[in-house]
Amino acid sequence: MILSLAACGEEQAQSPSADKPSATTSVQPSGKDSLTIEVKASAQAPAKKWTLTCDPAGGDHPKAEQACAALGKAQAPFQPVPANQMCTKIYGGPEIATVKGTWKNERVSAKFTRDDGCELNRWTKVAPLFGDVPKVR
């Protein structure tokens, strides 16, 4: 008898994977956290761009308080999906977001997509950060 298990949502399985969006973090000197968020409806679409500061919530982000709350609740919000993570092939759409700046005294350079179940889960955890995602034209 052969059993097969697939990873879905929060569950994890080990499998090689490539071309995953990435994040880079490094310790920075203490200072005010500030992020620049850029969201596109697709790779070819024009970008919407905002700045966000938290504690207190500010910048020109349209949903600054909700975005800061989502980031505060998320564990390691800018970490990429591990390269060996098996993910469901659930496509969530062509949207792309990048986040750059400083968060909790660490440099952030992260890319978010909705290409599969793992990336959808990652996007959903911090969805208010992306505001109202522009529609594909």
Mean pLDDT of 37-56: 93
How far is residue 94 CA from its own chain's centroid? 14
Mean pLDDT of 90-109: 94
Q: Does 67 have pLDDT greater than 70?
A: yes
pLDDT classification of 131: cutoffs 50, 70, 90: confident
* CA atoms in the 13 A half-sphere facing the CB of 80: 19
Query: Is omega for the bond preceding 21 within 30 degrees of 0, making it cis?
Result: no
CA-closest candidate to residue 43, choices 91, 98, 122: 98
Model's pTM, two decimal places?
0.75
* Beta carbons within 10 angstroms of residue 102's beta carbon: 18
Q: Does 25 have pLDDT greater than 60?
A: no
Q: What is the mean pLDDT of the chain?
A: 81
Q: 91 or 7: whose pLDDT is higher?
A: 91
